Amino acid sequence: MADLHGLELTPQVAAALPDWSQILAHLKEPGRPHAVDVLRAARASGRPAVQPRCGVGGQQQMLGLLRELEPARPDILSVTIDSHTRLKKFATAEALLGGNPADLNGYPLVAHGWQRGRELVESVSVPLEVRHGSPDGRDLFAVTIASGISSFEGGGIGYNLPYSKDVPLSRSLRDWQQVDALCGRLAQDGVVVDRELFGTLTAVLMPPSISLAVLLLEAAAAAREGVKCISPAYPQGGEVHQDIAALRAIRSLARRYLPADVEVYPVLHGFMGAFPRTPEFANALILHGGLVARLGGAAKVINKTAQEAYGIPDAAANASGISLTRLGASDLFDFVTVDEARVAEEQYWVEREVAEIIEPVLGAADLLDGIEAAFRAGRLDIPFSASIHAHSRVVPGRDRTGAIRYADCGALPLSAASRRFHAERLRAPEGTPPRSLIDAVTSDIYYFLAKEDLLLTSASSSASPVSSSSSFSSSDTSDTETRPR
């Protein structure tokens, strides 16, 4: 049975693992690609790395998917885990794998085992990252590192409260503490594990200061266990100045609250809300995400696809999403600039609000106990959470520019000045018809769908059918053909 330095594992999982020395030797093999190397290179170049989401149940199908995506030049590829494995229902995942792997909504790494995990690693030339959504990632992490994968997403808040109904924070925080402690041990032994943190949370109208507050608290907890590479991942909200400000704030806040020897790489999740349905508008939003990632200084962007509105994308759509995202972050768009004064104002308020939220928690005698107590009191909160361990009293809303504000701060410890800032930005112009709360929130969630509908309606109304009696002179035709398009 493998002894992984305090990582408590299910006996069956532990029994199937190689011992620590073998795991470590495999991770340290010369030439093995690691995510931290990609992130360092992205930071040096000023262009974000691009990574798609991907995961299917069967081994040959997963190998085929990774190989099909590699020609699109992703910098990192994902192994997205199925929902049964996320909930530690390993026997169920194994039964489905043996019957019909297509019934799994991701790759059951624990059921496949570390030997097949190594096959995935060796099938492509870029590093892999395990993405999942489990409140207890210990067994999965053990198989991940045994597979030779050194990038692992999640945390005790971000992978609990958005996904689970009744997993106590005290449990998930302590479970993830063990994962981070083993990352610390790996760092001592010369292997840097990239720990990406899921600031997307419930992915619906997430105020930047909530996302960043959770990220900074999880990052502080990870750093105390010896983690040396942290990738805080922020979800694209939709207003360019606010999104750029939030990404830039990650580095600034990290310098303030994290040890200097921790490498921090901001990550942007392409828009996670209700996605446009027409390929043209969806692709424009994907391109926009790449541009925002570059302007915000992200080291990596998780791309979306034009099929997001319809379900799990196929490999061709994912490859197209990778290429579009890379294009948006390329030097072709270096001429694009933003109002830096607006970005600076947004960044000031984001950083101020994050400080107001997290500094009382960071001052607790025990950080994890402090986080749990703050959520219990509502001083930390997440809107639209599935969990009974979050109050979900925070109500977000979009202002006239599309930026996400606090319509109701709940019990968050925001100052009077911060509350006034949000109230002023959300104040409707005089004469605006009143809306119910549910109508306002629904409209704000479907923000890009409304823009899409407006564009399609405008295009339809401006089109003028030509009657059968119409004729064009040669000069009319020439003017049409030379007009810029």
Task: Name the token pair of 360.
Answer: 């009382």
Of 43, 53, 129, 153, catalytic = 153
CA dist., res. 198 & res. 231, Å (int): 9
- N-to-C CA span, the chain: 67
Q: Is the CB of residue 226 less than 8 Å from the CB of residue 188?
A: yes
Residue type, 447: Y
153 is catalytic: yes
CA dist., res. 7 & res. 145, Å (int): 12
- Taking phi over 0 as left and psi of -120 to 50 as alpha, with beta for the rest, 181 belongs to alpha
| CA angle, 260 then 264 then 269, to 5° | 160
171 is catalytic: no
CA dist., res. 456 & res. 443, Å (int): 18
CA dist., res. 345 & res. 341, Å (int): 6
- Taking phi over 0 as left and psi of -120 to 50 as alpha, with beta for the rest, 126 belongs to beta
CA dist., res. 284 & res. 448, Å (int): 11
C-alpha dihedral sign at 56, 164, 311, 278: negative
Q: Is the CB of residue 227 less than 8 Å from the CB of residue 262?
A: yes
Of 86, 131, 294, 379, catalytic = 86
Q: Is the CB of residue 104 less than 8 Å from the CB of residue 150?
A: no
CA dist., res. 299 & res. 463, Å (int): 43
Q: How many CB atoms lie within 10 A of CB 106?
A: 25
Q: How many CB atoms lie within 10 A of CB 100?
A: 11
125-159 in b/e form (b: 16+ CB < 10 A) is: ebbbbbbbbbbbbbbbbbbbbbbbbbbbbbbbbbb
CA dist., res. 61 & res. 387, Å (int): 34
Q: How many CB atoms lie within 10 A of CB 1?
A: 12
Residues catalogued as catalytic: 86, 153
